[in-house]
Amino acid sequence: MDIVEDNVDENNDSLNEWSEFNIPEPILKALLEKGFTKPTVIQKLSLLPAILGRKDILGAAETGSGKTLAFGIPVLYGILECLKKAENGELDLDDDSDLEEEELDEEDPDSEDDGAVCVRAYTLKVDFEKPKHKLYALILTPTRELAMQVKNHLTDIAKYTNIKIAVITGGASLEKQEEALKKGPHIVVATPGRLWELLDQNEPHLSQVNNIRFLVIDETDRMLENAHFSELKQLLERINFDESKKKLRQNFVFSATLTLVHDPPKHIVEKSKKKNKPARFTPGQKLQKIISILGMTDPKVIDCSQQTVTAEKLLEARIFCSHEDKDHYLYYFLLRHPGRTIIFCNSIDCVLRLVKFLNILKLNPLGLHSSMNQKHRFQNLESFKKNSKAILIASDVAARGLDIPGIEHVVHYQVPKTSESYVHRSGRTARGTSEGLTLVLCDPLEMPDYNKLIRTLNRKRDLPEFPVEMHLFMAIKERVKVAHLIERVELHEKKSNSKINWFQRAARECDMIVDDPKIPKQRDIQEVADNRRFLKKKRSELNQLLAQKVTLQNISNRCISTTVLTDASKPVESNTSAVDLMKSVMAGKKDQLKRRMAKRLSQNKPLRRKAKKKRKVPSNIE
């Protein structure tokens, strides 16, 4: 307490900012130590109803706006209150975990107790080992990395309390997690799959899930998506097993895209037209649906998401290009604008290919996707955090929630299939007060998805085009061409070798001698030698290209006067970041608009809006 008071003296203003929320001193001390001098907007709006009103909260706020603590602080607060009551020997009317089951079997119909006491009569009869400690809160997240991050974040804030937090996710040792649960953590942060596995095994501590006081579903809209809903539904049935206990629980539901609504599929539009009903859900209807699925009662809805849905400090851009040119633009961007970058792909195959391709070009990218083993996933994430110029190529497993400071750019190598995906992927940059750039690479086949994205995000205009210095772009084309050749031959080699290996293994396993002349016994020695020679030649050619310095004078007045494109391990020296470049483009656009308006006004002409043109595939791309 004394140390908090010291902090309080130094941070008088901070105290004022936090003081209205009645935050316990140990938590306040940890918050101030982290430099969180005041609550963020979503925290400010959630804390009062959650802490003092004990309301269920449905919170929507932009990515990186501090939603974790918007639910984390009330949960920690609530648990401290419960522990205080227990310490003072006060009977917690809602808490029956210490009572004998026999006492609870029958409900006294004449009881004058209020509802809170009555509910104890409905205690679930369990036939597994009785838990030693009470489980107070369950926090569900869609990915393992996010679960670990939430656990670490809350552990930081709870470090001056005796609250214990455990994380339960797939891909990690089940035994170790069982050991952790035996210690009786107050909070469990979990992904649905592993949680269900342990529940299914009647793990004693988790057997209390139907009696928890706080339930958090982070990234709720993702958990409610068709593909994941069955897992969550099963869990909810278990958690909500006892209606009376459900009422005692406080629920928190958060996401950056909770209120984002989509154009429905064509057949629904047609149907709605016939019935003269609007086909699209309103954000309110979407929330109502979530409330009813989760069985929340009278929640406080806090929607502070921006009209654009994306983060305030996010700069957005796009490049329309042919499918074949995507790699060129990607390589150009990474070289011209070095900085911590995540490249998102729509499939694991695409992640694997890009990792290989950029490795050939010596950019040393890191991969992250759901088929990697968990240790490797964490390792790559750690390496990405440590290097300020690192490149991570990821599937949507990294799209939600990950809070890695200093990510400057997000590149969508493929147009995301949903607007949610675009918002969350882009939200890995421009977090809190930082700026960041999100860049979409779009080929002609992806135009329908791109158009849908712009429509769903209610954008009045197309995303601005990212400026590319064509001289530099042309200069890197040769490097990409050679890298593609190497990639193709390496792939051919790998496929041929694995085909032979497969036949040999299969024959060995069946104890067979293969004498069919059509089935190869070994690779054609000449072909292998030729390919090796070719690869060696191309690799040395590429090394030479990478070592070459391309200096271009006066590429663009707007940018820099001299740009040096050097070898890949020493990226382009530039004094204009992608963010600044995009800012100048946006400023230029604004100026242009102002000039046009001023001109029309001076000519006494009314201001007219340009007729909206249907966006089509630009003619300069195939």
Can you give the binding site for ligand ATP, defined by CB under 6 A? 36, 39-40, 43, 61, 63-69, 256, 401, 403, 427, 431-432
Please, which residue, 429 or 456, has the CB nearer to ligand ATP? Answer: 429
Q: How far is the CB of 64 from ligand ATP (least distance, A)?
A: 5
Contacts of 353 (CB under 8 A, 6+ apart): 487
Q: How far is the CB of 89 from ligand ATP (least distance, A)?
A: 35
Please, which residue, 75 or 360, has the CB nearer to ligand ATP? Answer: 75
Please, which residue, 15 or 135, has the CB nearer to ligand ATP? Answer: 15
Neighbours of 176 (CB within 10 A): 9
Separation in Å, CA 157 to CA 24, 36, 152, 213, 250: 11, 11, 9, 19, 20
Please, which residue, 304 or 528, has the CB nearer to ligand ATP? Answer: 304
Q: How far is the CB of 88 from ligand ATP (least distance, A)?
A: 31
Q: How far is the CB of 290 from ligand ATP (least distance, A)?
A: 16
Contacts of 141 (CB under 8 A, 6+ apart): 147, 150, 189, 190, 191, 218, 219, 401
Q: How far is the CB of 366 from ligand ATP (least distance, A)?
A: 20
Euclidean distance between CA atoms 306 and 308, whole angstroms: 5
Q: How far is the CB of 40 from ligand ATP (least distance, A)?
A: 5
DSSP 427-489: TTSS-TT--EEEEEEE-GGGHHHHHHHHHHTT-SSPPPBPP--HHHHHHHHHHHHHHHHHHHH
**620 with 465: CB under 8 angstroms?**
no
**303 with 259: CB under 8 angstroms?**
yes
Please, which residue, 160 or 196, has the CB nearer to ligand ATP? Answer: 160
Structural Rg of the chain based on CA atoms: 29
* Pairing state between β 165-168 and 187-190: parallel
Please, which residue, 68 or 169, has the CB nearer to ligand ATP? Answer: 68
Please, which residue, 38 or 484, has the CB nearer to ligand ATP? Answer: 38
**Nearest-5° angle of CA 416, CA 419, CA 420?**
100
Please, which residue, 219 or 449, has the CB nearer to ligand ATP? Answer: 219
**170 with 143: CB under 8 angstroms?**
no
Q: Three-class SS of residue 423?
A: helix
Q: How far is the CB of 36 from ligand ATP (least distance, A)?
A: 4
Q: How far is the CB of 404 from ligand ATP (least distance, A)?
A: 9
Please, which residue, 72 or 338, has the CB nearer to ligand ATP? Answer: 72
Q: How far is the CB of 398 from ligand ATP (least distance, A)?
A: 11
**621 with 322: CB under 8 angstroms?**
yes
- Taking the CA atoms of residue 608, residue 611, residue 615 and residue 619 in that order, the dihedral angle to the nearest 10 degrees is -90
As beta bridge partners, residue 252 has 57, 216
